Structure 1
C-alpha cells in the first residue's frame, strides 16, 4: 500500500492506495481489489491561545470587528467556535486566526482558517458564584464624584458603584465581588494591582467617556491570572467605550456575556499579556484591541488552559 501526505491550509491530509489480487485468476473483480483510505488532521498549533469566542449554536458570529476596528494579537491564536466577521475596513492580525465556521470579510493577516475544530471552554469547571452573597442588596448607588479618591477594600460589594467627573477609584489587592454594576464615567479613573473583578448575575462593568482603566490581575490565590470575570448566568454586555484603557493585564473570562469594545483608541496596549474568553467579542468604531504575549515578564501567572499554558495533545483527527 502506498501513502502520500500533503499539507492543506488548515491541517494535514494522508491518503493511502493499495491493490489486492482478485479471485479466480483476476476475474473477481477484474484487475483486483483497490483499497483507498483518507484521513485529515488539524494542524498542530503551538501558539498560545489569547482570544476565544464561545457563542451558542444560535449565535452565528462569535467574533466581529467593523468600522475600522482592529485586533492586534501577534504570535498568538485567535479562535471562534462559530464564525468571524470583519467589514468596513476592520482588520485582525494574529499569529493564527481560525473559525469553526467561516471567516468572512477582509483584513485578515494571515489568512483565516475555516472549518477548525471547536475549542472547549478552558475554565468550564470553575465555580464562580458565591452562593447567597448578593442577597439583601443595597438599592442606593455609591457615587464617587468631583475630585474624590476612594480606596475600596477587597470584599463583596452590594451597591452599584458609579465613578464620575475626575474621581478616582483605587481597588486594593484581592477579590472584588460586585453584586451590581461598576460604571466609569467622565474623566474618572479606576486602578488596581493584584486584583480580580468578579461580577455576579446582576452586575456588569461599563467604561464610557474618557474614563481611564489600569488593572493588573491576581498574582496568587484561586483566581491567580484573572482580572475580570462574570458568573455563568450573567448575560449582560461588558462594555468598554473609553479610549483610555491602557492596562488589562490578565485573563478576562465572561463565558455567557458579550465583550463590547467600541471607542477609538488602543485597549490593553500597556499590558504585558492579556487573554479574552467570552461568549461573543464585538469591536466597533475604530477600537483597537492589543494582545501582548510577554508572559514571563508580568508577575501575573497565566491560568492553565490559555496563553502559553494552553497545553493540548497535538493534532486532532478531523475526518
Structure 2
C-alpha cells in the first residue's frame, strides 16, 4: 500500500504545480493579448485614416485641375488647398492634418498632398514618434470649358459691385456644356436657375447656380476688343419699304428707321447689314430670316424684337465678321431686347461690347434650336420666364467660331498618379 500512497501524493503535487504554472502563464499572456487586440484596432483606424487622406487629395486634385482650365492664377492653388483642408475636417478629432497644393502651369497639372500625425502607444514609442501618414495626388486637364457667355462689364459706370449677369423672375440660362463668366457679380434670383458647364464671377455669386460658382475669379478680357467695327462710307439706303409681303434686303448700310410689323417677312440676303438708323423694331407676327448674315447696329436708340416675331438668323461664314450674327458698334450704349416667343435660331456670336442684352418673355426659349450660340455683352439680363439656351455643338454647324470663345470642348479631368 505504501508505494501506492506515495504515487498518489506525487500526482497531487504535480497537479497543483501545473495549475500554478498555467495561472502564471495566463497572467503573462493576457496583457499581451489585450495589447494585440488594441493594436489591431489601432492599425485598422490608421488604415482607414490613410484611405480617407487619399480620397481627400484625389478629390481636391480633380477639383483644382478643373478650375485651372479657366483660372491659371495663384488663387486656384489656394482654393484647392482650402478644399482639401475642408475635406479633412472629420479626421482632426484625432489627427493633426496639413494640406498643400501646387500648380504646374506647363503641364496643366495640380498636385495636392496631405500629411497626418497623432500619438501612438506608450507615449509614441510604438511606432516611435507616433503615427505619420501621407497621401499625394496629381490631376491634369488638357482643355477648359469653352467660353459661351461673358458679362464683360467689370468697372466703370456699373462698378465692380454690380451684377453684370442677372437672372430675374423665373427666368433660366441653360449653358450646360460651356463657361458662363461675369466680370462683376453673378446674381440669380430665388425663382431662377442658371445651369452651366462652369460658372465664374469676378465678384460675388448668389442664387440657384449649378455647379457651384467660383467667386473672386480673375476678370476675363473682352476676346474681341481688338476687332475693328467700321461702317462703310458707301451710300446708304433711306427708302426701305417693308410691306405685308416678303421684302428682300441686300447687304449694305441701312439708314432709315426700320420697323417690321404685322405679318411682314424680311429676308436678309447674305453679307453685312449695317443698321445706322434711329431705330430697329421687329414685332407682331413678322418674320426676319437670313443665312450667312451679320446685323451691325450703330446709332439706333434701341433694338427690339418683340411680340410673336420670328427671328431665324445664321451668322457669317467668311469675311471680317465670320462667326458673328449680331454686333453693336462700340458707340452703341443702349439695350438690345429680345422678348419674342420665336427667336429660336441664332447661330453665331452676339457681340455687344458696350450695350446690354435683355431677354424676357413668358415660357419662351431663345436660341434653343441653334447648334451653338455665344453671347459677349456689357451686361446680360433675363426676365419673366424666358429661357436663354446656349448650345455648344460647334462641330454641327458650318458657321466658324471666332477665336477667343468656343472650342476646344472640355476633356475629362484625370488623375495622373
What TM-score, normalized by structure 2, do the two folds share?
0.63
Is 1:224 matched up with 2:312?
A: no
> Partners of 1:143 and 1:176 in 2: how far apart?
16
Query: Which residue among 185, 196, 209 is the counterpart of 2:294?
Result: 196
SS at match of 1:251: strand
Tell me which of the two structures has the higher relative contact order, counting C-alpha pairs closer than 8 angstroms and 6 or more residues apart: 1
Query: Which residue among 275, 287, 307 is the counterpart of 2:406?
Result: 307
Q: CA RMSD in A?
A: 2.7
> Partners of 1:126 and 1:275 in 2: how far apart?
16
> Partners of 2:280 and 2:271 in 1: how far apart?
17
Displacement over 4 Å in runs of 4+:
5-10, 37-45, 131-134
Q: Could you give the per-residue CA deviations for residues 54-81 of structure 1, whole angstroms, max 9, x where no partner exists?
A: 1141421100111000000011000000
Greater Rg over alpha carbons, structure: 2
SS at match of 2:153: coil
Gaps of 5+ in 1: 16-36, 312-319
2:20 counterpart residue number: none
Q: Which has the higher strand share?
A: 1
Aligned-pair distance for 1:202? 3.0
1:295 counterpart residue number: 394
> Partners of 2:189 and 2:341 in 1: how far apart?
21
Any conservation in 1 of the 2:154–2:219 contact (CA below 8 Å)?
A: no
1:261 counterpart residue number: 359
Is 1:73 matched up with 2:175?
A: yes
Q: Which has the higher helix share?
A: 2
2:5 counterpart residue number: none
Is 1:167 matched up with 2:268?
A: no
Q: Could you give the per-residue CA deviations for residues 231-251 of structure 1, whole angstroms, max 9, x where no partner exists?
A: 111101000011111100000
> Partners of 1:234 and 1:82 in 2: how far apart?
21
Gaps of 5+ in 2: 1-56, 68-75, 82-99, 111-140, 411-417
Aligned length: 282
2:384 counterpart residue number: 285
Any conservation in 2 of the 1:269–1:290 contact (CA below 8 Å)?
A: yes
| Change over 3 Å in CA distance of 1:178–1:203 after alignment to 2 | farther
Query: Which residue among 153, 172, 175 is the counterpart of 2:250?
Result: 153
Query: Which residue among 355, 359, 374 is the counterpart of 1:275?
Result: 374
Alignment of 1:21-40 (within 5 A): none
Query: Which residue among 210, 213, 221 is the counterpart of 1:112?
Result: 213
Moved more, 199-208 or 60-69: 199-208
Q: Could you give the per-residue CA deviations for residues 242-301 of structure 1, whole angstroms, max 9, x where no partner exists?
A: 111110000000010000001120000010000000000000000100011111110000
What TM-score, normalized by structure 1, do the two folds share?
0.81
1:208 counterpart residue number: 306
> Partners of 2:233 and 2:219 in 1: how far apart?
34
Any conservation in 2 of the 1:129–1:200 contact (CA below 8 Å)?
A: no
Query: Which residue among 93, 96, 99 is the counterpart of 2:195?
Result: 93
